[in-house]
């Protein structure tokens, strides 16, 4: 299937994302816990898909997505967000983010978002 970079400041959330995507054949090639790491790993690993948390220290998911999309306009990014961040999501969608998933999510929701973003 696809190579994926998971970006979230919470280890348990990275594990939940992994547990949703690995069983359907995706390969996790990297994990980052902030936006700065996300941008560096994206450039280094060139994943086919990124799952990106919005709220993180150092550089948030919107800034990281913006930077990644500037260097690679074809980047496929799914935002993973908590409820109440609709204003940030609107900004992310305008930037070119493919989809978003609201935490907590059923694994199927993330699987569908990944399928759609990779199509």
Q: Is the peptide bond before 104 cis (omega within 30 degrees of 0)?
A: yes
Q: Which pLDDT does position 66 carry in this prediction?
A: 96
**Measuring CA to CA, which residue among 7, 110, 16 is closest to residue 56?**
7
Task: Please write the tens of the pLDDT for every residue from 6-21.
Answer: 999 999 999 999 999 9
Distance of alpha carbon 57 from alpha carbon 59, whole angstroms? 6
- 46: helix, coil or strand? coil
- Ordered alpha helix ranges (H), the chain: 11-21, 35-45, 61-71, 86-95, 107-118
Q: Which pLDDT does position 12 carry in this prediction?
A: 95
Show me where the domains of the chain are located: 3-118
Q: What is the DSSP letter of 92?
A: H
Taking the whole predicted model, whether its pTM rises above 0.85 is answered as yes
Taking domain 3-118, whether its CATH number is 3.40.50.2300 is answered by yes
Task: Please write the tens of the pLDDT for every residue from 14-69.
Answer: 999 999 999 999 999 999 999 999 999 999 999 999 999 999 988 999 999 999 99
């Amino acid at each position: 299937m696809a190579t994926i970079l998971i970006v979230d400041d919470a280890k348990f959330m990275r594990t939940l994302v992994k547990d949703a995507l690995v069983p359907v054949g995706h390969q996790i090639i990297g994990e980052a816990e902030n936006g700065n790491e996300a941008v560096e790993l994206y450039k280094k690993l060139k994943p086919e898909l990124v799952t990106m948390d919005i709220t993180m220290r150092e550089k948030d998911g919107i800034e990281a997505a913006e930077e990644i999309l500037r260097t690679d306009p074809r980047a496929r990014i799914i935002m993973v967000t908590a409820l109440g961040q609709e204003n940030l999501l609107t900004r992310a969608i305008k930037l070119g983010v493919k989809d978003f998933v609201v935490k907590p999510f059923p694994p199927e929701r993330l699987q569908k978002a990944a399928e759609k973003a990779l199509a």
